[in-house]
Structure 1
Amino acid sequence: MVRGDVKAARRPELRLPELRGYGGGLEPDGDYDGLEFTGTDLGGQDGAGARFLDCVLAGCGLDGTRLRHARVLDSRLTGVRGVGTDLAEATFRDVELFDARLGGTQLHGAVLERVLIRGGKIDYLNLRKARLRDVVFESCVLVEPDFAGARLERVAFVDCAVRSADFGSATLTDVDLRGAGPLEIARGLDRLSGAVISTAQLLDLAPALAGELGIRVED
């Protein structure tokens, strides 16, 4: 369904305090408050259940980092990179993620609220059964993102590429896809009720929509 009254996503408004530099590692259920991680290699470390409040992670390595059930609040991540980062069932609230280079990030069952993802490239992002509310994807590239079974409310895609997305069994409310170019949907075209797309996108998706509906198009 195409709608003109889509509600805009609210963006995070960070007001970070003066931060203290931190060069140590992660611990399960660790508590990190008002810290700045700069260029720290956190690859392979276990921070499951940790809490990050008023933190900045800049240029950090996250290869295979385990952060399942972590809580990231009022924080900024910039230039982080990694493959296979485990953030399943984590919580992100009032978070900015800038210029990330990530692959195979596990965010299934996660909760994202007032999150801005700007710049960078994320391959094979797993957001299955996640809950996204007031989330903006801006000027980034998403390759095969998986939103299957997720709930998206007030989510916007702004000047970004979305390739081979899976929306199977997802629920969309006030999702603005007009700024996605290209917009490629591999699965879940029937779940786009509650989203708004442009006329040009509708024309691009027409062959796939016809196939989804079992319509044979012949000239």
Structure 2
Amino acid sequence: CQSEAEADVAEAVEGGDLGIVGEDVQDFGDPNYSSAPEVKTVCVFPKNSAKLVLAGEQTELLVGMENIGESPVNVIAIKASVHLPFDHRMLVQNLTAVAFNNATVPPSVQATFPYVFAVSKYLQPGTFDLVGSIIYDIDQQPYQSTFYNGTIEVVEVGGFLSVESVFLVTLGIALLVLLGLWLHGQFQRITKKTKRAPKVEVGTRAPDASLDEWLQVMSWLMHHIIIIITSHSFYFS
């Protein structure tokens, strides 16, 4: 948003009049209009101070406008676009423009206009720059003011589930690595014993202690793997 005090933002959003959104979506192109000095703009992301945008889902922001001039301001539309943060010349997506019908801000009046947008569901999660502008005219002279030029954080829907999946896969790999290291150590120890073992008479002997230890480790690993998988399956259900 523009560099305005938080009190001015709250006053513009909560104390203003609401514009009427038109049903027809128009293509306003990329007009190179200048801003009017008698118009001040601010914006807020309601209940979304972190500016998180779910890919493919609708996100709302509110644009506050203050007319400090002597002529009424006729609001025409709000438009926005998404750019790469390191180079604004790299356009990522043009967002839908919202037209307003009969939206007029009289002199010395503040008004609030909603803007709902959605980035593509195929957009890679990460940090992007959002540039939002409001188009209006004063005495039939068109103007354009940028109400937001900053970063947003695009996240994928169900990103938490993906993190859980990565956790389970990582845990499984770690357990397999530990099991492999333990089996490798046991194999080397048994091999050394076999090379040093003298000949003995054929008969009944006690079970090898290493076999019992191996069975205990396998039982412990399987027990904990079953507990982890069961708990996560219950959570996601």
TM over 0.5: no
Structure with the largest fraction of strand: 1
Return the structure number with greater relative CO, CA threshold 8 A, min gap 6. 2
TM-score, normalising length: structure 1? 0.22
Structure with the largest fraction of helix: 2
Larger Rg: 2
